[in-house]
Structure 1
């Protein structure tokens, strides 16, 4: 059995985590507060329950230490308990957290955000990304008087709200009339998007998408969307929940030089503290304010949206990114990891089956079967071997707290996992290496 300092490479037993998972399922639907954290996303009986984290490492309640990737669903990009962020929060702790009027921290946080993301004129803070994206959609509908929302069909998640969730296999509870108001366009295909805008002439309020994901935008694509939105009178919304800070301090819009009408930020903004942001053009966002003569839009009115601890964390995160060149460090770490994983996979003869994709600061991996098709079974095998080697990696998304030694150790564990992967491919059957049911996709109709 593993000690606190390493996880045994042969097999992993998690008796305390197994019991805690039973308690979680008895009290919390799905056993977690985010579907992507569910134990169905991990090999059977190998879903560690976390005790604590520091830097790039986490410890489970069984005493095992892991090198962690994708921390906090990509939100913890500076590492757990980052000293600068924690100190900023600590300074606010004995000053109160929520008042009957705005605190001075709110204007300071807004000034800091708009200095970091200069393509926006105004910002409003909330607690989660879905609040911000839904507020952006509501603004677009109010500004245009149009009912339909056009979303990118190739992007996995935009909101928990009905306008998006109704398009997924988990659409129970969403009225058919609501589903019909959301239409889709393919990423990278301007002709198809224009055809959609022409088909629903004067009905589409907005185009909403992540400006980049595991693929870079084709040359001219984002600028082409900007032109289409202008020509067809709809609002262009960038969901920068992931691209914000990881692509540049000012997000993908700052890197690619295409300015949306509205954009939404979260995840890395608070380094794990709950904060998100809706930003954009003054004339649009002010519709949710008091300095205009039109109908008021109920934009974002959240009890905890301006809680001072999280805003203090966000300011510290932005200062750290800008002053310490965090985005560049994320890219350097990701490039080192991607090269190592690719070399390890190729060396074990599975280079075509374990595929690393994405921008270096936001790496994901695909697990392909003997026919080069995506496979949940092979993903399960791969995750089992990573966990056994002390690597907790639903993705390969790096944090700046990782050391070169952490990366090198991860590559060693990947090489060990690839050796087992090769055996399963040769047998054309990964089942003997699964030790239970395969991991499951998040979006599925039945539990």
Structure 2
């Protein structure tokens, strides 16, 4: 291999980020507060530590600027430090953020949310998606008197809590008895789901799934799930952490016209501020309240769940989405990016190996080897070249702050990365371009 090819792997140096990562690992298990942000998800010694962000750009502590995708794990869909959101937050900060009784902001935020998601009757706010989905599971078990939870096995994440994490390779510390209460059904297969419900007749409290993922739901699928849930007496729960706002302002349920019993929202709801929501039918939600005569359900009771500045951020986000047509803009930007990446990959002869998938507002990419199999080694190569070109992209999930120039620059960098990818494919060995260990999957048994 020529010397100039090997030099390609040494263009970006992050000495301050490397030192900061060592400090992070010394004090914080995993070196980050979310495993998906861990430095094992990035090429060795190329995990930038962020200083600040504005719009669609972030700067690392080494002074490098990047065009950023997948911002805040899909949470910052309007771009960093969005003026309207920051103004709403700043107004509340001067008024206090947490009180011994509910703030008027709580009812205003609930009214705004239920106007945006009219398929729900009641809503309760929390700080993270896991709390919301676990509360949905608890409500479903209380409503049905049944112990089992049926999750869609094709979707990667629902909660940090035991009922879900026990089903992953990272199940250490979770009793088998807990894990056995969670069963799985395949996405898109109504017959298999009905067989599962029949096998565990009168035992399944709910079906929980992301209503859409990397592909559109098969025709009639979500409506079919609704019918199955009704026929077997269980609840239908939509995890709209990702689909909420990115599919439509009212989530996937608003786009596809299928109403779940319960749904959970987060991520885009606060544009980076910590807020999530559990919403649903009144008769299902009310047992978590005070105005009923049945057994009480300890639903959500979080000290910081109604932090006023986060609720103000959520209201500003919803207003911005509706008034400025943000969802449509996300789709337009994603379509422009997907077309550019596919053209660049095809032009370099790697169109079958770098594959863009998903709805335009929520794009991911797959990196395939010479046998068209998913490859962490080739993902590492691709990420290294993107980083060297100033593109921070664990996915291609867009924010509305991206400009056409940002998209065009990203496509240029992708084309450069594809040229190196082609060389590695021709050599049938990406190792010389990795400069270290490959990136690793989040869910694995051993560190």
Give the C-alpha shift of residue 39 in structure 1. 0.1
User: Per the alignment, in what secondary structure is the counterpart of residue 237 of structure 1?
Assistant: strand
Cα offsets for 1:307-344 (capped at 9, x unmatched): 00000000000000000000000000000000000000
1:367 to 1:169, Cα distance in 2 relative to 1, 3 A: same
Partner Cα distance (1:3, 1:243) in 2: 46
1:255 to 1:104, Cα distance in 2 relative to 1, 3 A: same
Tell me how large the CA RMSD over aligned residues is: 2.9
Partner Cα distance (1:158, 1:28) in 2: 23
**TM-score if structure 2 supplies the norm length?**
0.98
> 1:6 touches 1:66 (CA, 8 Å); kept in 2?
no
User: Per the alignment, in what secondary structure is the counterpart of residue 67 of structure 2?
Assistant: strand
Give the C-alpha shift of residue 9 in structure 1. 9.6
> 2:9 touches 2:434 (CA, 8 Å); kept in 1?
no
Give the C-alpha shift of residue 8 in structure 1. 11
Partner Cα distance (2:270, 2:345) in 1: 34
Partner Cα distance (2:92, 2:6) in 1: 36
Give the C-alpha shift of residue 368 in structure 1. 0.2
Give the C-alpha shift of residue 141 in structure 1. 0.2
Partner Cα distance (1:7, 1:70) in 2: 29
> 1:7 touches 1:66 (CA, 8 Å); kept in 2?
no
Cα offsets for 1:75-108 (capped at 9, x unmatched): 0000000000000000111100000000000000
> 2:6 touches 2:432 (CA, 8 Å); kept in 1?
no
Partner Cα distance (2:160, 2:294) in 1: 29
1:2 to 1:242, Cα distance in 2 relative to 1, 3 A: farther
User: Per the alignment, in what secondary structure is the counterpart of residue 440 of structure 1?
Assistant: coil
> 2:9 touches 2:433 (CA, 8 Å); kept in 1?
no
Which residue number corresponds to residue 250 of structure 1? 250
Cα offsets for 1:198-249 (capped at 9, x unmatched): 0000000000000001111000000000000000000000000000000000
Give the C-alpha shift of residue 5 in structure 1. 25
Partner Cα distance (1:4, 1:406) in 2: 28
Structure 2 portions without partners, runs of 5+: none
User: Per the alignment, in what secondary structure is the counterpart of residue 9 of structure 1?
Assistant: helix
Matches within 5 A, 1:9-408: 11-408=11-408
Partner Cα distance (1:188, 1:117) in 2: 25
Cα offsets for 1:105-152 (capped at 9, x unmatched): 000000000000000000000000000000000000000000000000
1:295 to 1:59, Cα distance in 2 relative to 1, 3 A: same
Partner Cα distance (2:292, 2:2) in 1: 63
> 1:6 touches 1:64 (CA, 8 Å); kept in 2?
no
> 1:4 touches 1:63 (CA, 8 Å); kept in 2?
no
Give the C-alpha shift of residue 4 in structure 1. 25
1:401 to 1:342, Cα distance in 2 relative to 1, 3 A: same
Partner Cα distance (1:108, 1:39) in 2: 40
Give the C-alpha shift of residue 273 in structure 1. 0.1
User: Per the alignment, in what secondary structure is the counterpart of residue 193 of structure 1?
Assistant: helix
Structure 1 portions without partners, runs of 5+: none
Give the C-alpha shift of residue 6 in structure 1. 22
User: Per the alignment, in what secondary structure is the counterpart of residue 306 of structure 1?
Assistant: coil
Cα offsets for 1:359-414 (capped at 9, x unmatched): 00000000000000000000000000000000000000000000000000000000
**TM-score if structure 1 supplies the norm length?**
0.98
Give the C-alpha shift of residue 183 in structure 1. 0.2
Give the C-alpha shift of residue 352 in structure 1. 0.1
